[in-house]
Amino acid sequence: MRKFLLLALPLAVFSVSANAATSCTSQASWTLAQLIALNATGGCEIGDKLFTNWSGTTANANDNFAFTGASAPVGPGTSFFSLNFNAASGTNLASNFTFGYTISVLNDAAHVVPGNTAALDRVTVGMQDNGNTGSAGNVNKTVTGGTSCSAGATDNAGTITPTGNCSGFSATSLNISEAFQYTGTAGASSITGFGNTFRQTVTPNVTTGTPEPTSMLLFGSGLIGLFCVGRKRLARK
């Protein structure tokens, strides 16, 4: 019985360390209400990114979000992933609204190649418009957490102008707040949505040789097991 418990301990460690979040790509798109509901179960993850703490409103209950990015585990180098916000099918954005969320990097062996560390280092925002001459609006992004900055994009009759981006930092967690304001002619909107592009860099750890907590626990479990087996053998003698 003791041997069985010792063998089961490492399995329990891995079960506890597993992330219960839903895959962000388990469906093609999500309404804000659906993402807010995921807060209760750990949010959603794509690759080594976890999205949670969703809040706010949208112009239409059927406006939706779509995620794209690399699958885990992520290896060394620079990669990009995106979160696109789209107006409900058959509609355009012609109302003001604000929503927010938190994005975190999952730096564990299941999400990032061991021996490396991933960090976010750039955030940009853009808009999509099909060119209606009466359409105009802007989107502003506020970033806090691992850095504090703002970025945005302005639309004027289909001409999109970026108003800066957030870069020059290294963070494993960011709080994002986005506000959209429509300033064009009533009924003339052709703004179909806007998107966020995140850049991250995965780099090898500078220092090595320090065991991870999970590895130390597994090693300790093995030593306890050997001690118990050896003690039993001595008792028999």
- Give me the phi and psi of 40, to 5 degrees please: -70, -20
pLDDT in tens, 54-73: 999 999 999 999 999 988 99
Instruction: Decide the pairing of beta strands 30-31 and 44-46.
Output: unpaired
Domain holding 175, by residue range, is: 20-206
As beta bridge partners, residue 23 has: 45
- Residue 53 in domain: yes
Q: What does the pLDDT read at residue 20?
A: 74
Cis before 213 (ω within 30): no
As beta bridge partners, residue 67 has: 83
- Residue 140 in domain: yes
- Residue 12 in domain: no
- Residue 192 in domain: yes
- Residue 197 in domain: yes
Please tell me the pTM assigned to this model: 0.78
- Residue 37 in domain: yes
Q: What does the pLDDT read at residue 70?
A: 87
As beta bridge partners, residue 44 has: 22, 51
How far is it, in rounded angstroms, from Cα 194 to Cα 153?
9
User: In the chain, how many domains are there?
Assistant: 1
How far is it, in rounded angstroms, from Cα 224 to Cα 182?
65
- Residue 3 in domain: no
pLDDT in tens, 213-236: 555 555 556 556 555 545 555 455
- Residue 135 in domain: yes
